[in-house]
Amino acid sequence: MPQPHVVAAPAFLSDMQIATWNINGIKARLPVLLEWLKEANPDICCLQEIKSVNEGFPTQILEDAGYNVAVHGQKAFNGVAILSKRPFDEVSYGLPGDDSDEQSRYLEAVVQLDDTIIRVASIYLPNGNPVDSPKYSYKLAWMDRLIAHAKQLLKLEEPLVLAGDYNVIPQSQDAKRPELWVNDALALPQSRARFRSLLNLGLTDALRAVNTDAGIYTFWDYQAGAWKRDNGIRIDHALLSPQAVDRLEECRIDKHVRGWTKPSDHVPLVVTVSEADNA
DNA sequence: ATGACCTGTTTAACAGGA
């Protein structure tokens, strides 16, 4: 059994940047991912839709870029990963609650900081369309499992960041053209109610904690000139436990990355938390 | 404009995404 490679922790960090990004295929996106990691230099980066088996993931290349790598992949579709400059204390694969679920959409890891730990999950919540198919009931059931698991995690009273592609447009202000989404799995009342249930457990939408403006998006479709028209939706979110919110410094969306060559249709969202408690 | 994409893959007048 080969020893897993461990990248040494940085000697000093005044704050932590935790990013999430649906990259829509690691094979097609590796150059853009490496470019953005170099530019933004996040401490932790949650990835979704890697569309790769574990063996096909460019672990060595990302380790050479300074990251420890945890991967939960599958063939062709879905797949999540977490990159971390600091070593992983624990990694758990898959969302609890249904042993028959074979889709790789959830990965959770714990990282040691100077004065505490931080628990991070990379989430690729099911799309759910079309809504008259089993895909929508799978989405709602998956969200119910996420609510149940989040409830357990919150009992730990740790700094917790549940970050990823939630495939939920929380409110009409989170879409450029909300009327196009009223009958869509991303915006239907049952989807939105479950997203609100997560918040009602005591989780905070990090972006909304720092900015309540309309017109903030994380996804622009490849089709119909959506990017050119700024026809976007906000579906990538970081939900924080109270202990993480106490350390929240900033939350930003790296919108400019959507304009790069061969981009993902999603852009990175970055949460900055301090190493010291601000409360 | 009635049009307009991208990815991985069983390379297809495909499936799945959002």
User: Which mean pLDDT values do the consecutive 10-residue runs of chain A (279 residues) have?
Assistant: 59 81 97 98 98 97 98 97 98 96 97 92 97 95 98 98 98 97 97 98 98 98 96 98 97 98 97 78
Residues 82-101 of A with CB under 7 A from strand B: none
User: Does the domain made of A15-274 have the CATH classification 3.60.10.10?
Assistant: yes
Strand (E) or helix (H) holding A72: strand A68-72
Share of chain A above pLDDT 90, in %: 91
> Is the minimum distance from the CB of A22 to strand B below 7 Å?
yes
Q: Which of the nucleotides lies closest to A25 (Cα–C1')?
A: B7
Round and report the angstrom distance from CA (A276) to C1' (B16).
Answer: 43
CA atoms within 13 A on the CB side of A16: 32
Q: What is the reported pLDDT for A171?
A: 98
> Is the minimum distance from the CB of A75 to strand B below 7 Å?
yes
Q: Which of the nucleotides lies closest to A167 (Cα–C1')?
A: B18
Round and report the angstrom distance from CA (A3) to C1' (B1).
Answer: 60
Q: At CB < 8 A and 24+ separation, what contacts does A52-58 make? A: A52/A25, A52/A26, A52/A27, A52/A79, A53/A79, A56/A26, A56/A27, A57/A26, A57/A81, A58/A26, A58/A30
Q: What is the reported pLDDT for A14?
A: 76
Q: What is the reported pLDDT for A1?
A: 42
Nearest residue to A110 via CA among A158, A66, A77, A149: A158
Angstrom distance (rounded) from CA A79 to CA A124: 8
> Is the minimum distance from the CB of A51 to strand B below 7 Å?
yes
pTM of this prediction exceeds 0.75: yes
Residues 130-189 of A with CB under 7 A from strand B: 135, 165, 167, 186
